[in-house]
Structure 1
Amino acid sequence: MKKLISYQLVDYLERRGVEYVFGLCGHTVIALLDAMKDSKLKYISVRHEQIASTAADGYARVTKKASVCMTHLGPGLTNAVTGVANAATDNIPMVVIAGDVPSYYYGKHPHQEINMHCDGSQYDIFKPFVKRAWRLDTPELLPEILDKAFRLAESGRPGPVLISIPMDMFSREIDDSNFERTYKDSHETVKPTLQKETAIQIAKKLIDAENPLIHIGGHTVYSGATKELTELVEFLDLPVTRSLMGQGGISDTHPLFVGTTGFWGTYFVNGKSSTADLVLAVGTRMKEADASSWYEGISFSQKSRFIQIDIDPEEIGRNYPVEIGAVADPKLALAAILEAAKELKPEGINRPELRAEIAKYRAEFKASNKAISDDGRFPMTPQRILKDVREVFPTDGLIFTDVGWNKNGVSQQFDITEPDTIFHPGGLATMGFGSAAILGAKLAAPDKKVITLIGDGGFGTNPSVLAAAVEQNIPCVWVIMNNGAFGTIAGLEGGAYGHSFGTIFHTPDGEKYNPDWAEVAKAYGVKSKKITSADEFKGAFEEAINANVPYLLDVPMENIPVPTDGIWNINDIYNPKENVVEGKLVSGEATRFAHVATK
């Protein structure tokens, strides 16, 4: 029987278990909207395509399944770029379905076509960051493309894919027999684990090492490896450090958890990771911010021996040479290593001195922050905001950060004790991520409390998230940490050049300026409150998370830099030092930066 492509596409999404489609209308996709109108799919309409792609990102982070984002051609697709690219750099699965110009008008300048260098090339826009971009040229190929798209998005290193569909294709009919293959194709791809011999080899190296360390990244969390990681760590008494994206892989209060490495790391944490004789890196790409711009001996050292486990073979040995490189799912790999370790050393290993050293450091670090975390000054200190949030917010609630204190400070100072409860924009570090991602997250987990901690700069990029929350009845909470600036960049510019030009919000005559976000929220129909004292915040926040309606809190905050002992090459670019040349420490000069674990 023949059926319109638009309706067959909707049928496929229903069979695939897709529940929500995030998008924005346009003339190229109204045929798809018509097909969705009476379907089981729930269409989440927003006011900007970056919100659609970012909400889809948030949904996929919670469900760990490919979300679906729908966009119009031209400006619709380009507006979605940032959200899709953010998902790509953070390894989040997504299928983007984009309308395109009619296939028989390629190159003729039909309305909103992009064809500067090649006709029919809209899908080229996404090629630098999606795993694959398809253009549907033959309607009968759609079933095969759909199966490939979802499988590719969810398997290996997850990420977004694009299917660009000329608008005339939606209105073509093909026989539904073309979709028979989609009833047979499995929806799961079996993930690789370690061969037993490899697991034994890795376990033996961990057991024999004098000063071993496990360093975890975001894919350790995404793969659901918390149980396996914790059991291995406890069996061999192994210290654990993590990247920003690795937060939640092991409880931040675990006695063997050391902390975040890299630029936002402390002397103690970076000292532990840089002086290890063996580093087992699991599900991490060892990126710049987590590895102190790869300066030798700061966060990591090439004097260490490295074992790297990653689902993506391209990441093995990218930034540090490895003794063993293994392509495997972190959860399965850690389980295999634990099994091997129990065979090799049934009694396990105890390192009471290590546990005591970590406990002493953590107690001292918390004590050093106590005064500013308890401080009653107003505007509030960011440390006080985080302390009050942690005391009220349930440990199984979902927190989405954005860019600035709410991301870097949370990674460093905010204890996450349950996996899959903290979500950062790590790779692209996109402003406006948190405010939109919570829309998708709340739809994915309606029984959870869902909030974003976001700066006023980040929230101001796309406040129409509020309209989507009201229209779709999504009861999430925005906590705006409002310092009247692009605070992180203001601090960086101040340190490098002694001024804050272009980073502080003010009128041409220099008077401080910011929208009253609480009043803006009210205009959108969102319940809101502007905090007027430090003591008011905690109660207002508790009210907001329990209100079960969209709620915004505008919280005036001091622009205090996140404390850090780490190294970031950009500081050396702006303030050149004699012993740093093109991102490398000159031989013999590394001692000025040397980190000692006991410092």
Structure 2
Amino acid sequence: MSDTNELNGGQVIIDYLIKEKVPYVFGLCGHGNIGLIDAMHERQDDIGTISVHHESVAGFMADVYYRVSGQPTATFTSCGPGSANLPISLGNAFFDSVPFLAITGNVPTSQFNRGAFQETYRHYQADFPSTVQAYCKRVYQPTRGEQVPLMMRQAWKTMTTGRPGPVVLDVPFDIFKEAAASETPDPAAWSANISSRCGADPDGVVTAVDMLLSAEKPVIVVGQGVRYGGAADELLALAERLQIPVASSASGLGAIPVQHPLSLGLVQRGGTYQSNHACRQADVLLALGVRFDDRTSSSWIPGYSFTIPPTRLIHVDIDPEEIGRNYPVALGLMADVRTFLRQVLAELDRRGHSGEPTPASRKWLAAIDGYRAEWNAFVAPGFVDDSSPINPQRAAVEIDKALPEDAILVSDIGVHHNWLLQFCNPTRPDSLIGSMGFGPMGFGVAGVMGAKLAAPDRPCVSVCGDGAFFMHANVLGTAVEYNIPVVWVVWNNYAYGSIRGLQRGYLD
């Protein structure tokens, strides 16, 4: 190693995070990451450290911090059981397409394959990467100090480009202190100028516009691709211009304000009548960043939420693996959702489309107004039900009414989650945050602290079941220690309520 290499591996990692404007690292100390912690201490004026009481909490905080701010952060964990506590939150971020950098410690390189304390070695030396490869986009493991700058910049690029997701940087004990480089890579040169906002095939855009303009009963279905892609304004512009109603998957709620006249609300087995009924009658569906998982599709039961075919599906997603995964497409387009919507709006401009509703459009929207009125009449009694214990529907509505317009509600996993999705009225893409893919209990209990750090001036509330709260009640210590003023509303049904309901419904 050259004498000019002045920074060690830990210093390069922390300096790179600072250059990427990372405000916090979340994690827990252990003997495997003391070299990194030393580097963090040296730069404590430039980057904050949040020391939690369970590694999953660190991952959940990093996850929700990104969902609110759009800024990726990092976690730090030690070797063995320390990092083995992280895959739950890694998996949650991976399946919800949320990036954060997980910096995990490992045993010294000189002890690889010797069965050192906390080494995973029975199949391959220092084999923690095999533990997490199913729950992240990529694992990097430098075994020499000089590899740290290369892998650090590659990890960040992998994490933030294409379909975002978490990346693991697994660093052996000695590499944190080994000489690595004379300077840290400059993100402005390596990642800042990379755009993943690819547009759709121009001919495909023309075809999509043709299909939308010729449809008599079109519906737009939105997922997390709209929220994370920052496409809410473009979505609203297209929906209003063509007067197309918008249904939301659970991960798409808030992309259009739920109270907007064109919003149908939640489409899924626990969704609104107007949303499910409109989607199953649609002749053309424009799906934007939607996975069509078992919840959104109501377990793919034909005619429950969708009838594809004969409904013609235009499926747009940044990840081609999701296009046509669960339903056949009339038109599939790999594209960033915001870029695609801008292409569609530009094509409408090119054609001189006025935006005047057609007779078919007026008839379709009038029918939907009727479906909405039926639904509102059906659910209205629950909003004023005074029974005790409180009606869950009433509880969800009262929570929603109590929150100011700029509040952030982070829902945990459990039966309460379904009530919140159905009866809360998010006005922003980040008004209602939940775990939609992996579904780990404790996500909302811990994640709400990440929301508050990302938006310190906004009220942040977690609604969680008693089961989930007990799993991570240690968050109370973290909130007090770091003065993170959040509120937990515990939905106490003295049970794992969703499982109790499933047992009664499925097994009785």
Compute the TM-score of the two structures, normalised by the length of structure 2.
0.94
| Structure 1, 255-264 or 99-108: larger mean CA deviation | 255-264
Q: What's the secondary structure of 2:42's corresponding residue? A: coil
Match for 1:25 among 26, 29, 47? Answer: 29
Match for 1:445 among 445, 452, 455? Answer: 455
Contact 1:281 1:307 in 2 (8 A): yes
The aligned counterpart of 2:312 is: 305
Q: What's the secondary structure of 2:395's corresponding residue? A: helix
Label 1:30 to 1:229 Cα distance change in 2 as closer, same or farther (>3 A).
Answer: same
Give matches, 1:27-426, under 5 Å.
27-39=31-43, 40-177=46-183, 179-180=184-185, 182=187, 184-190=189-195, 191-301=197-307, 302-344=309-351, 346-350=353-357, 351-426=361-436
Q: What's the secondary structure of 1:293's corresponding residue? A: coil
Contact 2:253 2:265 in 1 (8 A): no
Q: What's the secondary structure of 2:471's corresponding residue? A: coil
Contact 1:144 1:182 in 2 (8 A): no
Cα separation, 2, equivalents of 1:131 and 1:180: 22
Which amino acid in 2 is paired with 1:19? P
| Structure 1, 434-443 or 181-190: larger mean CA deviation | 181-190
Consecutive unaligned residues of structure 1, counting only runs of 5 or more, are 499-599
How far 1:353 moved relative to its partner?
A: 3.2
Cα separation, 2, equivalents of 1:374 and 1:116: 60
Cα separation, 2, equivalents of 1:349 and 1:74: 63
Label 1:414 to 1:154 Cα distance change in 2 as closer, same or farther (>3 A).
Answer: same
Cα separation, 2, equivalents of 1:382 and 1:210: 38
Cα separation, 2, equivalents of 1:323 and 1:356: 27
Cα separation, 1, equivalents of 2:313 and 2:76: 42
Q: What's the secondary structure of 1:139's corresponding residue? A: coil
Contact 1:255 1:355 in 2 (8 A): no
Cα separation, 1, equivalents of 2:311 and 2:362: 23
How far 1:376 moved relative to its partner?
A: 2.6
How far 1:445 moved relative to its partner?
A: 0.8
Cα separation, 2, equivalents of 1:162 and 1:431: 22
| Structure 1, 470-479 or 334-343: larger mean CA deviation | 334-343
Which amino acid in 1 is paired with 2:340? A
Give matches, 1:509-528, under 5 Å.
none
The aligned counterpart of 2:438 is: 428
Match for 1:456 among 459, 466, 479? Answer: 466
**Aligned residues: percent identity?**
36
Which amino acid in 1 is paired with 2:253? Q
How far 1:152 moved relative to its partner?
A: 1.3
CA deviation map 1:300-352 (0-9, x unaligned): 22211111110111111111122221111111111211221243352224233
How far 1:195 moved relative to its partner?
A: 4.2
| Structure 1, 179-188 or 389-398: larger mean CA deviation | 179-188
Cα separation, 1, equivalents of 2:260 and 2:33: 50
Which amino acid in 1 is paired with 2:421? S
Cα separation, 1, equivalents of 2:236 and 2:28: 43
Q: What's the secondary structure of 1:117's corresponding residue? A: coil
How far 1:219 moved relative to its partner?
A: 1.2
How far 1:45 moved relative to its partner?
A: 0.4
Q: What's the secondary structure of 2:299's corresponding residue? A: helix
| Structure 1, 139-148 or 155-164: larger mean CA deviation | 139-148
Cα separation, 2, equivalents of 1:182 and 1:231: 34
Cα separation, 2, equivalents of 1:65 and 1:28: 27
Cα separation, 2, equivalents of 1:104 and 1:479: 49
How far 1:283 moved relative to its partner?
A: 0.5
Which amino acid in 2 is paired with 1:346? H
| Structure 1, 443-452 or 29-38: larger mean CA deviation | 29-38
Label 1:167 to 1:382 Cα distance change in 2 as closer, same or farther (>3 A).
Answer: same
Compute the TM-score of the two structures, normalised by the length of structure 1.
0.80
Contact 1:72 1:100 in 2 (8 A): yes
Cα separation, 2, equivalents of 1:418 and 1:255: 15
Cα separation, 2, equivalents of 1:38 and 1:450: 32
CA deviation map 1:176-198 (0-9, x unaligned): 14x35656223253111234433
Contact 2:410 2:432 in 1 (8 A): yes
Contact 2:264 2:272 in 1 (8 A): no
Cα separation, 2, equivalents of 1:250 and 1:182: 34
Which amino acid in 1 is paired with 2:451? A
Cα separation, 2, equivalents of 1:225 and 1:492: 36
Which amino acid in 2 is paired with 1:114? T
Residue 5 in structure 1 maps to residue 15 in structure 2 = no
CA deviation map 1:549-578 (0-9, x unaligned): xxxxxxxxxxxxxxxxxxxxxxxxxxxxxx
How far 1:379 moved relative to its partner?
A: 2.3
Cα separation, 1, equivalents of 2:185 and 2:399: 51
The aligned counterpart of 1:529 is: none
Q: What's the secondary structure of 1:128's corresponding residue? A: helix
How far 1:460 moved relative to its partner?
A: 1.3
CA deviation map 1:355-413 (0-9, x unaligned): 33333333432333332222233322222222222222112111111123432112211
Q: What's the secondary structure of 2:86's corresponding residue? A: helix
Q: What's the secondary structure of 1:415's corresponding residue? A: coil
How far 1:42 moved relative to its partner?
A: 0.5
